[in-house]
Structure 1
Amino acid sequence: MTRHLQGSLFDQTDQLRLGSLDGIRRTALGLGAWIDVLPGWLSGSDALFEHLAAEVPWRAERRKMYDHVVDVPRLLAFYGADDPLPHPLLTEARATLSAHYAEELGEPFATAGLCYYRDGRDSVAWHGDRTGRGAHEDTMVAILSVGTPRDLLLRPTRGGDTVRRPLGHGELIVMGGSCQRTWEHSIPKSTRAAGPRISIQFRPHGVH
Protein backbone atom coordinates (compact mmCIF):
# COMPACT_ATOMS: atom_id res chain seq x y z
CA MET A 1 0.00 0.00 0.00
CA THR A 2 2.82 2.44 0.84
CA ARG A 3 4.03 4.51 -2.13
CA HIS A 4 7.51 6.02 -2.30
CA LEU A 5 7.62 9.39 -0.56
CA GLN A 6 10.21 12.02 -1.41
CA GLY A 7 10.89 13.52 2.01
CA SER A 8 10.82 17.24 2.74
CA LEU A 9 14.18 19.02 2.61
CA PHE A 10 12.96 21.34 5.38
CA ASP A 11 11.70 18.72 7.85
CA GLN A 12 14.61 16.38 8.51
CA THR A 13 13.42 14.85 11.78
CA ASP A 14 11.56 11.70 12.75
CA GLN A 15 10.36 13.27 16.01
CA LEU A 16 6.67 14.04 15.69
CA ARG A 17 5.79 17.38 17.26
CA LEU A 18 3.04 19.94 16.80
CA GLY A 19 4.11 23.57 16.81
CA SER A 20 2.26 26.54 18.22
CA LEU A 21 -0.86 27.81 16.47
CA ASP A 22 0.09 31.40 17.28
CA GLY A 23 1.57 31.91 13.83
CA ILE A 24 -1.53 30.88 11.88
CA ARG A 25 -2.56 33.44 9.25
CA ARG A 26 -6.15 34.18 8.20
CA THR A 27 -7.19 35.17 4.69
CA ALA A 28 -10.71 36.47 4.02
CA LEU A 29 -12.07 34.88 0.84
CA GLY A 30 -15.28 36.90 0.64
CA LEU A 31 -18.95 36.02 1.12
CA GLY A 32 -18.24 35.35 4.80
CA ALA A 33 -15.67 32.63 4.06
CA TRP A 34 -12.07 32.49 5.25
CA ILE A 35 -9.06 30.18 5.49
CA ASP A 36 -6.40 29.93 8.21
CA VAL A 37 -3.04 28.53 7.02
CA LEU A 38 0.02 27.42 9.00
CA PRO A 39 2.94 25.81 7.11
CA GLY A 40 4.97 23.25 9.01
CA TRP A 41 2.59 22.92 11.96
CA LEU A 42 3.72 19.29 12.28
CA SER A 43 7.42 18.46 12.50
CA GLY A 44 8.39 14.92 11.49
CA SER A 45 5.42 14.73 9.14
CA ASP A 46 7.10 12.20 6.85
CA ALA A 47 7.20 9.69 9.71
CA LEU A 48 3.46 10.17 10.28
CA PHE A 49 2.81 9.69 6.56
CA GLU A 50 4.66 6.37 6.54
CA HIS A 51 2.76 5.17 9.61
CA LEU A 52 -0.65 6.10 8.24
CA ALA A 53 0.04 4.72 4.77
CA ALA A 54 1.03 1.34 6.24
CA GLU A 55 -1.35 1.00 9.21
CA VAL A 56 -4.68 2.63 8.32
CA PRO A 57 -7.28 0.18 6.93
CA TRP A 58 -7.70 2.06 3.66
CA ARG A 59 -10.71 1.26 1.52
CA ALA A 60 -11.42 1.83 -2.15
CA GLU A 61 -14.93 2.98 -3.05
CA ARG A 62 -17.01 2.93 -6.20
CA ARG A 63 -19.74 5.47 -6.95
CA LYS A 64 -22.40 5.87 -9.58
CA MET A 65 -21.73 8.70 -12.01
CA TYR A 66 -24.41 9.22 -14.62
CA ASP A 67 -24.92 5.76 -16.18
CA HIS A 68 -21.68 4.23 -14.92
CA VAL A 69 -20.15 3.02 -11.68
CA VAL A 70 -16.60 4.33 -11.35
CA ASP A 71 -13.70 3.99 -8.91
CA VAL A 72 -13.27 6.86 -6.47
CA PRO A 73 -9.80 8.21 -7.39
CA ARG A 74 -8.30 8.05 -3.87
CA LEU A 75 -8.36 5.73 -0.85
CA LEU A 76 -10.48 6.57 2.19
CA ALA A 77 -10.80 5.97 5.92
CA PHE A 78 -13.17 7.45 8.50
CA TYR A 79 -13.03 7.67 12.28
CA GLY A 80 -16.12 8.66 14.25
CA ALA A 81 -16.07 10.69 17.45
CA ASP A 82 -15.82 7.56 19.61
CA ASP A 83 -13.28 5.71 17.45
CA PRO A 84 -9.61 5.64 18.48
CA LEU A 85 -7.54 7.52 15.91
CA PRO A 86 -4.73 5.64 14.12
CA HIS A 87 -1.93 7.62 15.78
CA PRO A 88 -1.72 9.51 19.11
CA LEU A 89 -0.50 12.61 17.24
CA LEU A 90 -3.88 12.89 15.52
CA THR A 91 -5.65 12.75 18.88
CA GLU A 92 -3.38 15.54 20.09
CA ALA A 93 -3.96 17.57 16.92
CA ARG A 94 -7.74 17.30 17.23
CA ALA A 95 -7.66 18.35 20.89
CA THR A 96 -5.31 21.27 20.14
CA LEU A 97 -7.53 22.54 17.32
CA SER A 98 -10.66 22.16 19.47
CA ALA A 99 -9.07 24.24 22.23
CA HIS A 100 -7.75 26.91 19.86
CA TYR A 101 -11.07 27.42 18.05
CA ALA A 102 -13.36 26.75 21.04
CA GLU A 103 -14.69 30.29 21.39
CA GLU A 104 -15.14 30.89 17.65
CA LEU A 105 -16.47 27.45 16.69
CA GLY A 106 -18.47 26.82 19.85
CA GLU A 107 -17.97 23.06 19.75
CA PRO A 108 -15.07 20.59 19.44
CA PHE A 109 -13.80 18.90 16.33
CA ALA A 110 -15.19 15.37 16.56
CA THR A 111 -14.55 13.17 13.52
CA ALA A 112 -11.52 12.48 11.33
CA GLY A 113 -11.69 11.59 7.65
CA LEU A 114 -8.52 10.49 5.86
CA CYS A 115 -7.81 10.59 2.12
CA TYR A 116 -4.81 8.90 0.51
CA TYR A 117 -3.78 10.40 -2.83
CA ARG A 118 -1.38 7.80 -4.19
CA ASP A 119 -0.09 9.81 -7.16
CA GLY A 120 -1.11 12.56 -9.56
CA ARG A 121 -3.96 10.47 -10.97
CA ASP A 122 -5.81 10.57 -7.64
CA SER A 123 -8.03 13.59 -7.05
CA VAL A 124 -11.24 14.96 -5.59
CA ALA A 125 -13.75 16.93 -7.64
CA TRP A 126 -15.16 20.36 -6.80
CA HIS A 127 -17.39 20.17 -3.73
CA GLY A 128 -18.29 21.68 -0.38
CA ASP A 129 -18.77 19.75 2.86
CA ARG A 130 -22.47 20.58 2.95
CA THR A 131 -24.23 17.24 3.11
CA GLY A 132 -24.87 17.97 6.81
CA ARG A 133 -24.99 21.19 8.82
CA GLY A 134 -22.47 22.88 6.55
CA ALA A 135 -25.29 23.41 4.05
CA HIS A 136 -26.96 26.05 6.23
CA GLU A 137 -24.56 26.90 9.10
CA ASP A 138 -21.13 28.45 9.39
CA THR A 139 -18.66 25.80 10.50
CA MET A 140 -15.02 24.75 10.20
CA VAL A 141 -13.07 21.95 8.55
CA ALA A 142 -9.42 21.62 9.57
CA ILE A 143 -7.07 19.71 7.27
CA LEU A 144 -3.59 18.48 8.21
CA SER A 145 -1.56 17.32 5.19
CA VAL A 146 1.40 14.94 5.20
CA GLY A 147 3.38 13.68 2.25
CA THR A 148 4.08 15.35 -1.08
CA PRO A 149 2.38 18.74 -1.55
CA ARG A 150 -0.68 18.81 -3.83
CA ASP A 151 -2.62 21.89 -4.88
CA LEU A 152 -5.87 22.64 -3.07
CA LEU A 153 -8.08 24.87 -5.22
CA LEU A 154 -10.91 27.02 -3.88
CA ARG A 155 -13.48 28.99 -5.89
CA PRO A 156 -16.73 30.80 -5.08
CA THR A 157 -19.81 28.76 -5.98
CA ARG A 158 -21.29 31.66 -7.96
CA GLY A 159 -18.17 32.09 -10.05
CA GLY A 160 -15.01 34.11 -9.60
CA ASP A 161 -11.26 33.81 -9.22
CA THR A 162 -9.72 30.53 -8.05
CA VAL A 163 -7.42 30.43 -5.03
CA ARG A 164 -4.58 27.89 -5.23
CA ARG A 165 -2.77 26.57 -2.15
CA PRO A 166 -0.20 23.71 -2.19
CA LEU A 167 -0.60 21.50 0.90
CA GLY A 168 1.78 18.86 2.25
CA HIS A 169 4.64 18.14 4.69
CA GLY A 170 2.79 19.01 7.91
CA GLU A 171 0.83 22.04 6.71
CA LEU A 172 -2.49 22.99 8.32
CA ILE A 173 -5.41 24.72 6.63
CA VAL A 174 -8.71 25.53 8.30
CA MET A 175 -11.70 26.47 6.14
CA GLY A 176 -14.18 28.49 8.16
CA GLY A 177 -17.16 30.81 8.18
CA SER A 178 -19.45 30.20 5.21
CA CYS A 179 -16.69 28.45 3.23
CA GLN A 180 -18.46 25.09 2.86
CA ARG A 181 -21.63 26.59 1.36
CA THR A 182 -20.38 29.69 -0.52
CA TRP A 183 -17.12 28.21 -1.84
CA GLU A 184 -16.05 24.89 -3.34
CA HIS A 185 -12.69 23.15 -3.09
CA SER A 186 -10.90 20.40 -5.04
CA ILE A 187 -7.64 18.52 -5.47
CA PRO A 188 -7.17 18.30 -9.26
CA LYS A 189 -5.34 15.57 -11.09
CA SER A 190 -1.73 16.40 -11.90
CA THR A 191 0.08 15.57 -15.14
CA ARG A 192 3.40 16.16 -13.37
CA ALA A 193 5.06 13.37 -11.45
CA ALA A 194 3.40 13.64 -8.04
CA GLY A 195 4.30 11.68 -4.95
CA PRO A 196 1.77 10.40 -2.42
CA ARG A 197 -0.11 12.63 0.04
CA ILE A 198 -2.47 11.94 2.94
CA SER A 199 -4.91 14.53 4.24
CA ILE A 200 -6.57 14.30 7.65
CA GLN A 201 -9.80 16.29 7.89
CA PHE A 202 -11.16 17.15 11.34
CA ARG A 203 -14.85 18.13 11.45
CA PRO A 204 -17.46 18.90 14.11
CA HIS A 205 -20.46 16.59 14.61
CA GLY A 206 -22.90 16.63 11.71
CA VAL A 207 -20.54 18.19 9.17
CA HIS A 208 -19.52 16.03 6.22
Structure 2
Amino acid sequence: MRSSQGYADRVYFQGSLLDPDPGTGSGVSLAPLGSSVQRRELAQGAWVDVRPGWVRGADPLFLKLQTEVQWRADRREMYDSVVDVPRLLAAFGPRDEWPHPSLVAMREVLEAHYADELAEPFVSAGLCYYRDGRDSVAWHGDRIGRGRTEDTMVAILSLGAPRRLSLRPHDHGPGDTIGFVVGHGDLLVMGGSCQRTWEHAVLKTAK
Protein backbone atom coordinates (compact mmCIF):
# COMPACT_ATOMS: atom_id res chain seq x y z
CA MET A 1 0.00 0.00 0.00
CA ARG A 2 1.19 3.48 -0.77
CA SER A 3 0.26 6.81 0.75
CA SER A 4 -0.85 9.66 -1.54
CA GLN A 5 -1.15 8.65 -4.12
CA GLY A 6 -4.56 -12.14 -18.07
CA TYR A 7 -3.91 -14.29 -15.01
CA ALA A 8 -0.49 -15.37 -13.84
CA ASP A 9 1.33 -18.44 -14.98
CA ARG A 10 0.63 -21.32 -12.64
CA VAL A 11 2.89 -21.37 -9.60
CA TYR A 12 2.61 -24.12 -7.02
CA PHE A 13 2.54 -22.98 -3.41
CA GLN A 14 3.58 -25.00 -0.37
CA GLY A 15 1.57 -23.79 2.60
CA SER A 16 3.34 -23.03 5.85
CA LEU A 17 3.08 -25.70 8.55
CA LEU A 18 3.23 -22.88 11.11
CA ASP A 19 0.34 -20.90 9.63
CA PRO A 20 -2.60 -21.08 12.07
CA ASP A 21 -5.09 -21.27 9.19
CA PRO A 22 -3.32 -23.38 6.54
CA GLY A 23 -5.46 -22.65 3.51
CA THR A 24 -8.73 -24.10 4.78
CA GLY A 25 -10.63 -20.90 5.56
CA SER A 26 -10.52 -17.15 5.41
CA GLY A 27 -9.29 -16.52 8.95
CA VAL A 28 -6.76 -13.79 8.26
CA SER A 29 -5.76 -11.87 11.39
CA LEU A 30 -3.15 -9.25 12.24
CA ALA A 31 -0.64 -9.43 15.06
CA PRO A 32 -0.18 -6.25 17.12
CA LEU A 33 2.20 -3.59 15.87
CA GLY A 34 3.34 -1.29 18.69
CA SER A 35 6.71 -2.18 20.18
CA SER A 36 7.02 -5.27 17.95
CA VAL A 37 7.89 -3.01 15.00
CA GLN A 38 11.66 -2.81 14.52
CA ARG A 39 12.91 0.49 13.07
CA ARG A 40 16.22 1.01 11.32
CA GLU A 41 17.23 4.63 10.86
CA LEU A 42 18.96 5.34 7.56
CA ALA A 43 20.88 8.38 6.33
CA GLN A 44 19.26 11.64 5.16
CA GLY A 45 16.08 11.25 7.19
CA ALA A 46 15.01 7.87 5.78
CA TRP A 47 13.95 4.85 7.83
CA VAL A 48 12.66 1.29 7.44
CA ASP A 49 10.29 -0.50 9.83
CA VAL A 50 9.94 -4.29 9.91
CA ARG A 51 7.29 -6.35 11.69
CA PRO A 52 7.95 -10.08 11.12
CA GLY A 53 4.88 -12.32 11.08
CA TRP A 54 2.35 -9.49 11.03
CA VAL A 55 -0.30 -11.44 9.10
CA ARG A 56 -1.62 -14.68 10.56
CA GLY A 57 -3.57 -16.97 8.26
CA ALA A 58 -1.49 -15.72 5.33
CA ASP A 59 -1.79 -18.92 3.27
CA PRO A 60 -5.42 -18.46 2.15
CA LEU A 61 -4.82 -14.77 1.50
CA PHE A 62 -1.86 -15.56 -0.76
CA LEU A 63 -3.80 -18.22 -2.67
CA LYS A 64 -6.83 -15.98 -3.18
CA LEU A 65 -4.75 -13.10 -4.51
CA GLN A 66 -2.64 -15.41 -6.65
CA THR A 67 -5.59 -17.07 -8.36
CA GLU A 68 -8.31 -14.38 -8.44
CA VAL A 69 -6.56 -11.06 -9.07
CA GLN A 70 -6.48 -9.99 -12.73
CA TRP A 71 -2.72 -9.71 -13.01
CA ARG A 72 -1.18 -7.78 -15.91
CA ALA A 73 2.28 -7.71 -17.41
CA ASP A 74 3.90 -4.37 -18.25
CA ARG A 75 6.18 -3.91 -21.23
CA ARG A 76 9.04 -1.45 -21.70
CA GLU A 77 11.53 -0.45 -24.33
CA MET A 78 15.01 -1.95 -24.09
CA TYR A 79 17.52 -1.00 -26.75
CA ASP A 80 15.72 -1.61 -30.07
CA SER A 81 12.90 -3.85 -28.82
CA VAL A 82 9.98 -3.95 -26.37
CA VAL A 83 10.21 -6.58 -23.63
CA ASP A 84 8.04 -7.83 -20.77
CA VAL A 85 8.77 -6.43 -17.32
CA PRO A 86 9.69 -9.51 -15.25
CA ARG A 87 6.86 -9.39 -12.71
CA LEU A 88 3.06 -9.13 -12.74
CA LEU A 89 1.10 -6.18 -11.37
CA ALA A 90 -2.34 -5.09 -10.20
CA ALA A 91 -3.41 -1.72 -8.80
CA PHE A 92 -6.39 -0.63 -6.71
CA GLY A 93 -7.28 3.00 -6.02
CA PRO A 94 -9.58 4.64 -3.47
CA ARG A 95 -12.67 4.10 -5.65
CA ASP A 96 -11.92 0.46 -6.47
CA GLU A 97 -13.12 -2.60 -4.63
CA TRP A 98 -10.01 -4.11 -3.10
CA PRO A 99 -9.55 -7.84 -3.75
CA HIS A 100 -9.74 -8.98 -0.12
CA PRO A 101 -11.34 -7.34 2.94
CA SER A 102 -8.23 -8.01 5.01
CA LEU A 103 -6.32 -5.49 2.86
CA VAL A 104 -8.75 -2.77 3.93
CA ALA A 105 -8.31 -3.81 7.57
CA MET A 106 -4.52 -3.63 7.15
CA ARG A 107 -4.80 -0.11 5.75
CA GLU A 108 -6.84 1.00 8.77
CA VAL A 109 -4.39 -0.56 11.25
CA LEU A 110 -1.43 1.06 9.50
CA GLU A 111 -3.10 4.47 9.48
CA ALA A 112 -3.77 4.20 13.22
CA HIS A 113 -0.23 3.04 14.02
CA TYR A 114 1.46 5.74 11.92
CA ALA A 115 -1.03 8.52 12.65
CA ASP A 116 1.62 10.82 14.15
CA GLU A 117 3.98 10.38 11.18
CA LEU A 118 1.63 9.87 8.24
CA ALA A 119 0.90 13.14 6.46
CA GLU A 120 -2.08 11.66 4.62
CA PRO A 121 -3.98 8.35 4.52
CA PHE A 122 -2.94 5.26 2.61
CA VAL A 123 -5.26 5.46 -0.40
CA SER A 124 -4.05 2.87 -2.90
CA ALA A 125 -2.75 -0.68 -3.06
CA GLY A 126 -0.26 -1.93 -5.61
CA LEU A 127 0.18 -5.70 -5.88
CA CYS A 128 3.39 -7.14 -7.34
CA TYR A 129 3.63 -10.84 -8.16
CA TYR A 130 7.14 -12.31 -8.37
CA ARG A 131 6.53 -15.80 -9.75
CA ASP A 132 10.04 -17.09 -9.05
CA GLY A 133 13.60 -15.83 -8.63
CA ARG A 134 13.75 -14.73 -12.26
CA ASP A 135 11.12 -12.05 -11.62
CA SER A 136 12.55 -8.78 -10.32
CA VAL A 137 12.33 -5.00 -10.28
CA ALA A 138 15.26 -2.67 -10.95
CA TRP A 139 16.55 0.11 -8.70
CA HIS A 140 14.02 2.92 -8.27
CA GLY A 141 12.24 5.19 -5.81
CA ASP A 142 8.45 5.51 -5.65
CA ARG A 143 8.38 9.25 -6.32
CA ILE A 144 4.70 9.61 -7.14
CA GLY A 145 2.62 12.70 -6.34
CA ARG A 146 3.84 14.44 -3.20
CA GLY A 147 6.49 11.75 -2.80
CA ARG A 148 8.62 13.67 -5.30
CA THR A 149 9.18 16.52 -2.86
CA GLU A 150 7.92 15.45 0.58
CA ASP A 151 8.25 12.57 3.00
CA THR A 152 5.88 9.69 2.36
CA MET A 153 5.40 6.04 3.31
CA VAL A 154 5.28 2.82 1.34
CA ALA A 155 4.05 -0.23 3.27
CA ILE A 156 4.88 -3.67 1.86
CA LEU A 157 3.21 -6.92 2.89
CA SER A 158 5.18 -9.97 1.75
CA LEU A 159 3.35 -13.21 0.96
CA GLY A 160 4.86 -16.46 -0.27
CA ALA A 161 8.54 -17.36 -0.49
CA PRO A 162 11.04 -14.97 1.14
CA ARG A 163 12.67 -12.34 -1.08
CA ARG A 164 15.33 -9.75 -0.35
CA LEU A 165 14.47 -6.06 -0.66
CA SER A 166 17.72 -4.21 -1.37
CA LEU A 167 18.23 -0.50 -0.63
CA ARG A 168 20.99 1.98 -1.39
CA PRO A 169 21.29 5.79 -1.16
CA HIS A 170 21.06 7.77 -4.38
CA ASP A 171 24.66 8.91 -3.99
CA HIS A 172 25.77 5.36 -3.26
CA GLY A 173 29.29 4.05 -3.25
CA PRO A 174 30.87 0.62 -2.80
CA GLY A 175 29.41 -1.24 0.16
CA ASP A 176 26.44 1.10 0.62
CA THR A 177 23.76 -1.45 -0.29
CA ILE A 178 21.74 -2.95 2.55
CA GLY A 179 18.96 -5.53 2.46
CA PHE A 180 15.96 -6.91 4.30
CA VAL A 181 14.74 -10.46 3.72
CA VAL A 182 10.96 -10.41 4.09
CA GLY A 183 9.00 -13.63 4.34
CA HIS A 184 5.44 -14.94 4.39
CA GLY A 185 3.25 -12.50 6.34
CA ASP A 186 6.00 -9.97 7.12
CA LEU A 187 5.43 -6.21 7.02
CA LEU A 188 8.05 -3.71 5.84
CA VAL A 189 7.46 0.05 5.75
CA MET A 190 9.75 2.58 4.06
CA GLY A 191 9.28 6.07 5.46
CA GLY A 192 10.71 9.52 5.92
CA SER A 193 12.73 10.63 2.90
CA CYS A 194 13.32 7.05 1.75
CA GLN A 195 11.62 7.40 -1.65
CA ARG A 196 13.53 10.60 -2.48
CA THR A 197 16.97 9.88 -1.06
CA TRP A 198 17.23 6.08 -1.41
CA GLU A 199 16.51 3.51 -4.11
CA HIS A 200 15.14 0.01 -3.63
CA ALA A 201 15.05 -3.12 -5.78
CA VAL A 202 14.08 -6.79 -5.78
CA LEU A 203 16.98 -8.40 -7.61
CA LYS A 204 16.99 -11.71 -9.44
CA THR A 205 17.97 -14.83 -7.51
CA ALA A 206 19.01 -18.33 -8.49
CA LYS A 207 15.64 -19.84 -7.47
TM-score by length of 2: 0.88
Q: Is the 8 A contact 1:153 1:185 kept in 2?
A: yes
Alpha-carbon RMSD: 1.3
How far apart are the structure 1 equivalents of 2:124 and 2:205? 29
Aligned residues: 192
2:45 corresponds to which residue? Answer: 32
| Aligned AA (2:156) | I
**Following superposition, which runs of at least 4 residues in structure 1 exceed 3 angstroms of deviation?**
none
> Over residues 16-65 of structure 1, what are the superposed CA-to-partner deviations in whole Å (9 max), with x where a residue is unaligned?
11111111111101110000100000011121110000110101111123
1:111 corresponds to which residue? Answer: 124
Correspondences of 1:85-124 after superposition (within 5 Å)? 85-124=98-137
Q: Is the 8 A contact 2:30 2:56 kept in 1?
A: yes
> Over residues 115-167 of structure 1, what are the superposed CA-to-partner deviations in whole Å (9 max), with x where a residue is unaligned?
00001110000000014321211110001111111111011110141111111
| Aligned AA (2:178) | V
Q: Is the 8 A contact 1:99 1:108 kept in 2?
A: no
2:5 corresponds to which residue? Answer: none
Structure 1 residues without counterparts, runs of 5 or longer: 194-208
Note the C-alpha offset of 1:9.
Answer: 4.1
Note the C-alpha offset of 1:69.
Answer: 0.9
Structure 2 residues without counterparts, runs of 5 or longer: 1-7
Corresponding position: 1:48 with 2:56? no
Q: Is the 8 A contact 1:6 1:148 kept in 2?
A: no
1:202 corresponds to which residue? Answer: none
2:31 corresponds to which residue? Answer: 19
Note the C-alpha offset of 1:97.
Answer: 0.7
| Aligned AA (2:193) | S
Note the C-alpha offset of 1:81.
Answer: 1.0
Q: Is the 8 A contact 2:119 2:152 kept in 1?
A: no
Q: Secondary structure at the match of 1:103?
A: coil
TM-score by length of 1: 0.88
Corresponding position: 1:176 with 2:191? yes
Q: Is the 8 A contact 1:21 1:38 kept in 2?
A: yes
Corresponding position: 1:7 with 2:20? no
How far apart are the structure 2 equivalents of 1:131 and 1:63? 19
